[in-house]
Amino acid sequence: MLLMLHNPIEGIGSFYGGILHPLVVPEQALLLVTTSAFLAQQGLPALRRAIPVGLVLLGAAVFAQPLCAWAPPQSLALVLGALLGLSVAAQLRLPLVFPVVIAGLFGLVIGLSTDLQEIPVREEGLFQSGALLGGGLGLLCLAVWLESAELLWQEVVIRVLGSWAAASSLIVLMWQRV
């Protein structure tokens, strides 16, 4: 069954499976969307500094994961998703250090969650490269696209998105503890 997760489409191969991994695992997709929306709200200067940090740590974490053999708990991605969702809903503008730290945390959490179980040893590099590409491009494209929102309704959409992401994360966090 775990194989289905790592290769979401049968026969797609390890590289494309890696690309899709951050996009189809719900907690990772949620974190990707909330991080992108949060960074986008901080403005272009913050994006220019935060995105490279996020990409570097994502790459480091993806390739270091087999060595440290530790994956962050699902609840960590959900807590981060809830906090970022609330921030997006409130449209908070924070000092530059916050977006940089958040982008770094995104990279670490997504990267360390890219476990290689069920991936053939000779295809591990392909899967890791795909995961780096999927997570990195996903963050970059989504953040830059959301940052370009200028119209009132576009800003409303992003805030509503944040509130629902926060609500989803909080509900599932409570569900896990009941």
Partner 1 sequence: MALSTLMHDGAGIAGGFASGILHPLTGPDHLAAMVAVGLWGAFLGMPAIWLLPVVFPLVMVVGAALGLVGVAVPGVEVGIALSAVALGAMVAIAAKPPLPFAAALVGLFAIFHGHAHGTELPDSANALAYSLGFVLSTGALHLAGIGLGFMVNKPGGHNFVRTCGALIALTGLAFLFDWL
What the block records as the tokens of 112 is: 């360390």
**144 in contact with partner 1 (CB under 8 A):** no
Looking at beta carbons only, is 48 or 174 nearer to partner 1? Answer: 174
Q: Which helix (H) or strand (E) holds 156?
A: helix 152-177
Interface with partner 1 by CB under 8 A: which range of 22-30, 46-54, 123-131, 137-145?
22-30
Give the helix ranges, DSSP H, for 73-123: 74-90, 97-112
The site that binds partner 1 (CB under 8 A) totals a number of residues, namely 36
> Between the CA atoms of 154, 160, 163 and 167, what dihedral angle is there, to the nearest 10 degrees?
-140
Looking at beta carbons only, is 29 or 60 nearer to partner 1? Answer: 29
**Phi then psi dihedrals of residue 115, to 5 deg:** -80, 155
Of 58-97, which residues contact partner 1 (CB under 8 A)? 78, 86, 89
Q: What is d(CA 64, CA 66) in angstroms, rounded to the nearest whole number?
A: 6
Among 19, 30, 51, 112, binds partner 1 (CB under 8 A): 30
Q: How far is the CB of 156 from partner 1 (least distance, A)?
A: 5
Interface with partner 1 by CB under 8 A: which range of 1-9, 49-57, 92-100, 128-136?
1-9
What the block records as the tokens of 35 is: 């991080």
Among 12, 23, 24, 126, binds partner 1 (CB under 8 A): 24
Closest CA to 131 of 156, 123, 176: 123
Closest CA to 87 of 27, 142, 158, 149: 158
Residues of the shown chain interacting with partner 1 in the complex, contacts defined by CB under 8 A? 1-2, 4-5, 8, 24-27, 29-30, 78, 86, 89, 152-153, 155-157, 159-168, 170-172, 174-176, 178
